[in-house]
Amino acid sequence: MTENPTAARTRDEFAYLPGQAERRGREAPSAERLALDLPDGRALSALRLGTGLPQVVLLHGAGLNAHTWDTTALALGAPVLAIDLPGHGDSTWRDDADYRPRTLAPDVILGIEEWAAAPVVLVGHSLGGITAAAVAAQRPDLVASLVLVDITPGASGGGGSAELRRFYERTDFDSREAAVEHAMGFGLGGSLEDARRGVFHNTRVRDDGRVEWKHHFARIAQQALAAPADAATPALVDESGWDDLAAVRAPLLLIRGERGYVDTAAADDFARRLHDAEVVALAAPHNVQEAAPVELAELIASRIHPNGTRP
């Protein structure tokens, strides 16, 4: 099926939200796209779902975008701010391709100051989790509670890196349907409906009508494929994350997916290093926020309300 480029560019990004809400027996929340001009000329983008200043801020993982949290936000039922990390979604790519957590943290801090009711419950998945730790270490006044989703510093994710490099051998497509077919061929995206929604939010239509991934990592991965085998590739999560986590004074929760990146040995190491942290396992793959949104929302809600009640 060929997609009309003009229609694809102008489609409402929140068009999927009412259907998602209806399937979960909820009303669709108010939703808006936010933009913040950064001091160096780049822009930071985010979604605000719900009415009122959010007390929950959500940071996605590498290669994803703020919409990965939509179903979790619906299950939570409270106002949330979901930020597009630099180089992802509608946030500007970095010219230096530096997406290490400590590099990303200052932009996230500005976003929290501008758009949220601090101190917040700061939730980060994968790269967003170690970025959240850097934010909490640099600005403890902004973070009331820190939640990491399926990530610890140095977590490797097994053989996923080689598979993702193969996935990004193709970075543009004739249509979004072609991108959906590509994603599902790698076992990504879940159901056909979920894959279509995910591809819609994570792609853009160029002026020539072709569809490309929005995030910078597709381009970085393609460059890595063309480079010599021993060439250095940009690091995303490094050992500095342990120093940041050690400096965090807010209550800390690690939620790991039983089929995700953080295995039992990594979780035990996390608990040994951070004695006061809580560790919870959910029956989910790495993208816990998409596979187990209700369970994840309940754990986030318990951080907003110490008695564990839903908002």
In the residue annotation, 286 being an active-site residue is answered as yes
In the residue annotation, 156 being an active-site residue is answered as no
Q: Which of 126, 145, 175, 302 is catalytic?
A: 126
Residue pair 282/257 in contact by the 8 Å Cβ criterion: yes
Amino acid at 210: R
SS3 track for 43-62: EEEEEEECCCCCCEEEECCC
How many whole angstroms separate alpha carbon 92 and alpha carbon 86? 6
Q: Which of 84, 216, 286, 302 is catalytic?
A: 286
In the residue annotation, 302 being an active-site residue is answered as no
The stretches of 116-253 forming alpha helices (DSSP H) are 127-138, 160-167, 176-185, 192-201, 216-226, 240-247
Amino acid at 233: T
Cα–Cα distances in Å, from 68 out to 108, 169, 181, 189? Answer: 17, 23, 19, 11
State the Cα torsion 113-73-11-181 to the nearest 10°.
120
How many whole angstroms separate alpha carbon 284 and alpha carbon 258? 6
How many whole angstroms separate alpha carbon 138 and alpha carbon 113? 13
Q: Which of 70, 90, 107, 150 is catalytic?
A: 150
Enzyme catalytic residues: 126, 150, 286
